[in-house]
Amino acid sequence: MSASTRQSLHPGLNLGAEHGDDHLEAETSVFGFWVFMMSDMVTFGMFFAVFATTLPLACCPGPTELFDLGSIAWQTSFLLLSSMTSGMAVLTMKQEHGGRSACIKKLVFWLLLTVLLGCGFLYREISDFIFMATAGGPPTRSGYLSALWSLVGLHGLHVTGGILWCLVIVVGVMVRGVDLRWKLALLRWAVFWHFLDVVWIFIFSFVFLGGLL
């Protein structure tokens, strides 16, 4: 089956038939990454399960003393917008594969904007962690706080990893151009980045907002 007869091989984060053989190449590699991503979701799920079985104790500060709704709103906005800009990066790569240097400039712009928004998210998150630690809520204080720090911290580590990965892709496309290798890297990174936002939906809804109810 040739590339042109098959429109869409895997979810939207694909290259499109005009990319020829690269399009076919992307199918297995991106689907494989989806499988990894799902196993990562199970890991997050178990952290959620542990968190759900703990209760804030009377001994230590609880959600009302530790969480700042405004900061959570900022983090949520940063991450949602970065998900959007990462989508714009993928669209740029898909659609402007013809004009090389113009495409690279636009692509790098969207990727760096995503990195910037990701750093904004991390900045607010780390400030919150520092506040929590100084306000009497370090992870060692109670089971609830341990579960909270590990769940939110695990997500923060993923975001840090995603930012570093994105920077590697930026350097890659600037040095080597948008060739097959970096196209595939960008597609997989985009899947990763979108899923970090998906996990964040559940963290802000159930950990932070649910805790404040």
Partner 1 sequence: MEKSKELHHYLIGLALAAVLTVIPFTLVATVGGKASYVGLIFCAILQLIVHLRFFLHLSFKGQQKEDLQLVLFTGFILFLMIGGTIWVLGNLYTRM
Contact residues toward partner 1 (CB under 8 A) are: 6-13, 16, 31, 34-35, 38, 41-42, 45-46, 48-50, 52-53, 69, 72-73, 76-77, 80, 83-84, 87-88, 91, 94-95, 191, 194-195, 197-198, 201-202, 204-206, 209-210, 212-213
Q: How far is the CB of 18 from partner 1 (least distance, A)?
A: 10
What the block records as the tokens of 115 is 């990195």
| Of 8 and 157, CB closest to partner 1 | 8
CB of 117 to partner 1, least distance (A): 13
CB 47 within 8 A of CB 39: no
Cβ neighbours around 76 below 10 Å, total: 20
Q: State in angstroms the smallest separation of the CB of 153 from partner 1.
A: 19
CA pair distance 187, 166, nearest whole angstrom: 11
Q: What is the CA radius of gyration of the chain?
A: 20
Pair 166, 118: CB distance under 8 Å: yes
Nearer to partner 1, 73 or 116 (CB): 73
CB of 157 to partner 1, least distance (A): 20
**How crowded is residue 184: how many other Cβ atoms within 10 Å of its Cβ?**
18
